[in-house]
């Protein structure tokens, strides 16, 4: 039994007690205090009969009316409890969803940080590769330039040697032409003939 039912029964008992007090007072007044109780007794019986009828009617009404009221209140209470339970379940579900989304957001933030760090690392590695390739190409170009310069110097030396040889030959021819006469020519022919003769 709920608290409201207890309160209602307490009120009903109080009302009945009040009616009995009023009935007792009425019977005392009906006697009038002068010893004539014949008329007062009839009045008292009539009053008590009516009071009894009222009490029975009131009791029946209270019994039949309070039962549906109690059922209605119990149904309403159950509905409220059910609504509260559903609200609590919805709240727990919402909190679970929130926790799930918060967890996903945290993981997404961590993944974004990881992706950013990976992109940064790859960028730095690519930069180092480009710089290494540039250094390697610079060294190759320098070596090729040195080789080309060496070849050009060698060619220039060969050219200079040829030119010097040609100039020496021309100078020798000119000197021979100036200083070589018929007498020298005859002497060279005689020496040649002697050597040829000695060989045979």
Full pLDDT tens readout for the chain, 200 residues: 555 655 666 666 667 666 666 666 555 555 554 545 446 678 778 888 888 888 888 877 777 777 777 777 777 888 888 889 999 999 999 999 999 988 888 888 888 888 888 888 888 888 888 888 888 888 888 888 888 877 888 888 888 878 877 777 777 777 666 666 667 667 766 776 776 666 65
Taking the CA atoms of 28, 33, 38 and 40 in sequence, report the sign of the dihedral they define: negative
Q: What is residue 32's predicted lDDT score, i.e. its pLDDT?
A: 52
Helices (H) and strands (E) in the chain, counts: 3, 0
Domain segments of the chain as ranges: 3-92, 149-199
Listed in sequence order, the residues at least 6 apart from 19 whose beta carbon sits closer than 8 Å to its beta carbon are 51, 54, 55
CA distance 47 to 26: 8
Distance CA 169, CA 150 (A): 28
DSSP state of 32: T
**CA–CA dist 8, 16 (Å, integer):** 12
Torsion of CA 4, 6, 11, 16, to 10 degrees: 140
Q: Are 43 and 30 in contact (CB under 8 A)?
A: yes
Nearest-angstrom CA–CA distance, 151 and 145: 10
pTM: 0.33
The pLDDT, as a whole number, for residue 167 is 79
pLDDT at 23: 60
Contacts of 192 (CB under 8 A, 6+ apart): none
CB 19 within 8 A of CB 55: yes
The Cα–Cα gap between 105 and 162 comes to 84
- Predicted local distance difference test score (pLDDT) of residue 92: 92
């Amino acid at each position: 039994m709920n608290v409201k039912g207890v309160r209602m029964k307490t009120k009903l008992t109080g009302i009945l007690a009040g009616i009995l007090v009023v009935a007792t007072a009425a019977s005392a007044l009906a006697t009038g205090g002068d010893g004539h109780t014949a008329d007062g007794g009839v009045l008292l019986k009539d009053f008590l009969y009516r009071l009894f009828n009222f009490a029975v009617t009131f009791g029946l009404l209270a019994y039949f009316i309070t039962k549906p009221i109690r059922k209605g209140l119990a149904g309403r209470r159950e509905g409220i409890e059910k609504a509260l339970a559903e609200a609590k379940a919805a709240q727990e579900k919402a909190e679970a969803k929130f926790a799930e989304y918060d967890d996903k957001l945290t993981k997404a933030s961590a993944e974004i940080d990881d992706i950013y760090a990976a992109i940064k690392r790859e960028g730095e590695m690519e930069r180092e590769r480009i710089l290494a390739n540039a250094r390697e190409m610079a060294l190759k170009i320098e070596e090729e330039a040195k080789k080309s310069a060496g070849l050009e110097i060698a060619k220039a030396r060969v050219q200079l040697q040829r030119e010097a040889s040609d100039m020496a030959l021309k100078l020798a021819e000119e000197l021979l032409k100036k200083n070589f006469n018929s007498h020298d020519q005859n002497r060279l022919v005689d020496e040649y003939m002697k050597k040829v003769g000695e060989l045979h």
